[in-house]
């Protein structure tokens, strides 16, 4: 019965405790600020540290530029004004770089989680060698970093959001980009460093884009109390992620969430992953446009056209969407039976296509979810509220590191 | 970004801290005892409390009958003998009651997790009303409790292991038993209490049987370093459970793990759950025996016959197993793509049928797991080492509660 034992670390020393408490206070101010105004008294009540301890920690966080004060507030204690605390709008920030099949989107997020700079370029990344695509992304990132500096933001790390299997800093496989074993972190970091001589080298991490889009949905979306959800994003392929109890499920090898490669028909069309009849072959953008008789080479324009035709009642467009919705519902019903999430969130191109995808998907789910807890009116199938913003999720992941240990990211 | 904040409890008071530490020490002795002999010094090093604090806690645990001492040991400190500590073989224990389609199995597990009493009765529970089945289980449980008392064991709670959707003390649906909305905990508790006048009422909990079998595998099986696995148990139906990072995934409504109702063929045979073409219809015991041309009414005897025929090279038996293995592999590949576990464990009737199920399942998995990390020789598909012992898992769940707060279970 090994698993019952709580993990036991060595006893924490004083320095570790203070760093931990600095993080607690910083995060408490960020969270209090969401619902109203943060005061030292409010933070003290929230984190369970004495008022004096909180004041000392706040002072250090202000000196290091993580917190600012802004006038008096009466919201803290009955009748006694406190000073409102805010997470700084300048200083440490995160850089997120989403490299997808037909666009690159870069953004900078500040400590409060607010997106502050965004640059997106639409282009087809499928033809070009991986090194070239990553160098192009680095150029966009360098320009974004210039903009961030003008706003006195100091990105302390970057996360790459990549449409494939990502682990150990490399893209193991990104079939829709045609990438295999691409050391993406190194290639991007080298290109970015070369573009910014004299600047400190930015640490670069990487993660699957659907995972990051799901985190963006969790952190910035309108999910309310939902803490467990399956996230599907319609792109050229179909990406997926699982958030369980507010935590991203990465899986034993970092490859969880690949719902796009769940088999629909074992003898179906060949998939780029090497298997046959994967969901992607029925509900990915390419398959959807093909079934609707729309030229898919124009990227996002094809989806706009699909939506236009469906809205106009075009039979072939509606049939293609209905069939894709049915396939989505069928595969998602299996996933719901397996992990029993609160909700299923559809992002990417699915967002605008919900009116046609949702009824057949809900019908499959209602018939196939064994708990009997799925019904068309349940609202458990919903559109992503942030359109699948992997770049923001990627940037916020860096910010999460800062919030977890601000001392490590104080101005050098 | 709400989720980033660590949950903050109120500050713990002294009494809470001592209770927590009693639990830490008790569990440390249990775990140390697994690999050798537990000493006060060894426990102190393990939990990070001073030697004096550990001695005081050990004293209290011995007085309450949770720990015993047994002679001198030299394994603790260099050259200095210590006194070996052991978890008591008497006192608080757990009762597990598995009610399955064609058997009831009851067991008592002691604080060390060892099974001490077992009573199993093979009978067909499908025909009888739920109340009658539960009353029968209560009679077996009462006899088991008598045996436990003779061993000076004192079960402090019972967990029912049930083959269906269990939540809030009731079986929402157990298609293979024909149960719907059965208040199983109450019915069982009433029957058991009536059988044991003058005894304290035993608290009764309930859980899906596959979930408990998976926990038994995690706690008592030979999984080694595997902390995340998908568990499938072949019974009349197909049960399933997901253990992620050493924790059972219960899901948002308690219904996770229902892999038996993942759809294989949307137009396939009707399933008792109300859907069509569920995995259960292809790889459950009933389907398997039917495909092999074996009379399934004899329960376990049919599976023994299937194995005998397959071993003898009977074409129809081998074909039925090959097809079932392929279906298992196909559905499991989707689950692996979704949650990326370390391993997939097959229990129940699948255990003895592995020689025939495993090759076709592995072939499907190798072709369809998108990470490319599945290969026939990987050992990631394995037989359950404890034959799917839901009753032991159920009993151990009670013991887990005792270990988490021994004070609450001290002799009254």
pLDDT of residue A72: 67
ipTM: 0.85
Between chains, do A340 and B370 touch, taking CB under 8 Å as contact?
A: no
Judging contacts by C-beta atoms under 8 Å, the chain B residues touching residue A8 are: 24, 46-48
Summarize the confidence of residues B119-133 as an average pLDDT: 91
Strand stretches in A321-369, DSSP E: 343-348
The neighbouring-strand residues paired with A343 are A229
Between chains, do B338 and A11 touch, taking CB under 8 Å as contact?
A: no
Between chains, do A3 and B246 touch, taking CB under 8 Å as contact?
A: yes
| Residue A5 belongs to some domain of the structure | no
pLDDT of residue B31: 86
pLDDT above 70 covers a percentage of chain A that reads 92
Say how far apart CA B85 and CA B89 lie, in whole Å.
12
Residue A387 pLDDT more than 80?
no
| Residue B49 belongs to some domain of the structure | yes
Do both A238 and A111 map to the same domain? Answer: no
Instruction: Give the CA count within 13 Å in the CB-facing half-sphere of A113.
Output: 23
pLDDT of residue B126: 86
pLDDT tens, position by position, A79-132: 556 788 999 999 999 999 999 988 999 999 999 999 999 999 988 898 799 999
Between chains, do B338 and A258 touch, taking CB under 8 Å as contact?
A: yes
Between chains, do A275 and B370 touch, taking CB under 8 Å as contact?
A: yes
Say how far apart CA A231 and CA A215 lie, in whole Å.
10
pLDDT band at B372 (very low <50, low <70, confident <90, very high): confident
Between chains, do B6 and A28 touch, taking CB under 8 Å as contact?
A: no
| Residue A310 belongs to some domain of the structure | yes
Q: Nearest-CA residue of chain A relative to B400?
A: A4
| Residue B155 belongs to some domain of the structure | yes
Q: How far apart are the first and last CA of chain A?
A: 47
Summarize the confidence of residues A371-394 as an average pLDDT: 88
Summarize the confidence of residues A28-57 as an average pLDDT: 87
Number of domains in chain B: 3
Q: Give the one of B2, B278, B372 whose C-beta lies nearest to A31's C-beta.
A: B2
Do both A173 and A83 map to the same domain? Answer: no
The neighbouring-strand residues paired with A125 are none
Disruptive mutation site among A166, A221, A323, A371 for chain B (greatest number of B CBs within 10 Å):
A371
Task: Mark which of B57, B87, B117 sits at the end of a domain.
Answer: B87
Q: Whole-number mean pLDDT of chain A?
A: 90
Give the containing element (helix H, strand E) for A155: strand A153-162
Disruptive mutation site among B34, B368, B372, B386 for chain A (greatest number of A CBs within 10 Å):
B368
CB atoms within 10 A of CB B112: 17
Between chains, do A30 and B251 touch, taking CB under 8 Å as contact?
A: no
Task: Mark which of B87, B113, B146 sits at the end of a domain.
Answer: B87
The neighbouring-strand residues paired with A243 are A229, A248
Between chains, do B330 and A27 touch, taking CB under 8 Å as contact?
A: no
Between chains, do A338 and B266 touch, taking CB under 8 Å as contact?
A: no
Do both B336 and B372 map to the same domain? Answer: yes
Give the containing element (helix H, strand E) for B67: strand B67-77
Do both B381 and B400 map to the same domain? Answer: no
Task: Mark which of A60, A87, A114 sits at the end of a domain.
Answer: A87
Rg for chain A (alpha carbons), in Å? 23
Shortest distance, CA B154 to any CA of chain A (angstroms): 20
For chains A and B, what is the number of CB pairs under 8 angstroms? 209
Q: Give the one of A247, A337, A371 whose C-beta lies nearest to B259's C-beta.
A: A337
pLDDT tens, position by position, B284-317: 999 999 999 999 877 678 999 999 999 999 999 9
**CATH number of the domain where residue A45 is located:** 1.10.10.10
Dihedral angle over CA of A211, A212, A215, A221, nearest 10: -120
Do both A232 and A361 map to the same domain? Answer: yes
**CATH number of the domain where residue A314 is located:** 3.30.420.40
Do both A249 and A319 map to the same domain? Answer: yes
Residue B281 pLDDT more than 50?
yes
Shortest distance, CA A229 to any CA of chain B (angstroms): 9
| Residue A245 belongs to some domain of the structure | yes
| Residue B403 belongs to some domain of the structure | yes
Between chains, do B372 and A173 touch, taking CB under 8 Å as contact?
A: yes
pLDDT band at A2 (very low <50, low <70, confident <90, very high): very low
Do both B256 and B377 map to the same domain? Answer: yes
pLDDT band at B15 (very low <50, low <70, confident <90, very high): confident
Do both B353 and B267 map to the same domain? Answer: yes
Do both B126 and B165 map to the same domain? Answer: yes
Q: Give the one of A246, A266, A367 whose C-beta lies nearest to B275's C-beta.
A: A367
Does residue B69 sit in helix, strand or coil?
A: strand
Instruction: Give the CA count within 13 Å in the CB-facing half-sphere of A266.
Output: 16
pLDDT band at B251 (very low <50, low <70, confident <90, very high): very high
User: CA A68 → CA A36, A378, B388, distances in Å?
Assistant: 15, 43, 58
Shortest distance, CA B225 to any CA of chain A (angstroms): 11
How many angstroms from the chain centroid is the CA of residue B108? 13
Judging contacts by C-beta atoms under 8 Å, the chain B residues touching residue A254 are: 340
Is residue A158 within 8 A of residue A96, CB to CB? The reply is yes
Is residue A161 within 8 A of residue A155, CB to CB? The reply is no
| Nearby residues of B324 by Cβ (< 8 Å), 6 or more positions away | B282, B283, B287, B288, B291, B357
| Residue B74 belongs to some domain of the structure | yes
Core vs surface per residue A163-189: b (16+ CB within 10 A) or e: bbbbbebbbbbbbbbbbeebbbbebbb
Beta-sheet strand order (sheet of B165-167): B165-167, B170-174, B179-182
Disruptive mutation site among B26, B325, B338 for chain A (greatest number of A CBs within 10 Å):
B338
Do both A124 and A161 map to the same domain? Answer: yes
Is residue B73 within 8 A of residue B84, CB to CB? The reply is yes
Q: Nearest-CA residue of chain B relative to A5?
A: B27
pLDDT of residue A1: 32
Nearest residue to A370 (alpha-carbon basis) of B214, B174, B328: B174
pLDDT band at B74 (very low <50, low <70, confident <90, very high): low
Domain range spanning residue B352?
225-385
Do both B75 and B199 map to the same domain? Answer: no
pLDDT tens, position by position, A218-259: 999 888 899 999 999 998 889 999 999 999 999 999 999 999
Is residue B379 within 8 A of residue B342, CB to CB? The reply is no
| Residue B63 belongs to some domain of the structure | yes
């Amino acid at each position: 019965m090994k698993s019952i034992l709580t993990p036991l670390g060595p006893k924490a020393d004083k320095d570790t405790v203070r760093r931990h408490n600095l993080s607690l206070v910083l995060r408490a101010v960020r969270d209090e600020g969401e619902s109203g105004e943060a005061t030292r008294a409010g933070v003290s009540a929230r984190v369970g540290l004495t008022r004096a301890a909180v004041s000392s920690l706040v002072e250090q966080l202000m000196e290091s530029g993580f917190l600012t004060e802004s006038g008096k507030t009466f919201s803290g204690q009955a009748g006694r004004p406190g000073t409102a605390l805010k997470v700084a709008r300048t200083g440490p920030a995160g850089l997120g770089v989403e490299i997808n099949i037909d666009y690159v989107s870069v953004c900078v997020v500040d400590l409060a989680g607010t997106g502050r700079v965004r640059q997106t370029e639409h282009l087809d990344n499928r033809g070009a060698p991986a090194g070239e695509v990553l160098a192009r992304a680095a150029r966009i990132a360098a320009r974004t970093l210039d903009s961030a500096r003008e706003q006195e933001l100091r990105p302390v790390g970057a996360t790459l959001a990549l449409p494939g299997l990502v682990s150990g800093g490399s893209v193991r496989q990104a079939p829709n980009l045609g990438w295999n074993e691409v050391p993406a972190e190194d290639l991007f970091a080298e290109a970015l460093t070369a573009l910014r001589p004299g600047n400190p080298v930015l640490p670069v991490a990487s993660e699957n884009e659907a995972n990051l889009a799901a985190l963006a949905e969790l952190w910035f979306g309108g999910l309310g109390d939902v803490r467990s959800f399956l996230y599907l994003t319609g792109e050229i392929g179909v990406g997926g992620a699982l958030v369980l109890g507010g935590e991203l499920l990465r899986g034993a090898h970092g490859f969880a969430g690949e719902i796009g490669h769940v088999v629909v028909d074992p003898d179906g069309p060949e998939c780029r992953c090497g298997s046959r009849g994967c969901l992607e072959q029925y509900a990915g953008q390419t398959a959807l446009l093909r079934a609707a008789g729309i030229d898919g080479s124009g990227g996002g324009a094809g989806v706009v056209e699909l939506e236009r035709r469906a809205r106009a009642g075009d039979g072939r467009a509606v049939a293609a969407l209905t069939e894709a919705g049915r396939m989505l519902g069928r595969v998602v019903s299996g996933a719901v039976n397996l992990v029993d999430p609160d909700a299923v969130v559809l992002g990417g191109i699915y967002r605008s296509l919900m009116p046609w995808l949702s009824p057949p998907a809900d019908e499959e789910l209602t018939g196939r979810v064994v708990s009997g807890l799925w019904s068309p009116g349940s609202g458990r199938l919903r559109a992503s509220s942030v359109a699948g913003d992997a770049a923001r999720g990627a940037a916020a992941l860096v910010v999460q590191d800062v919030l977890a240990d601000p001392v490590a990211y104080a101005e050098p």
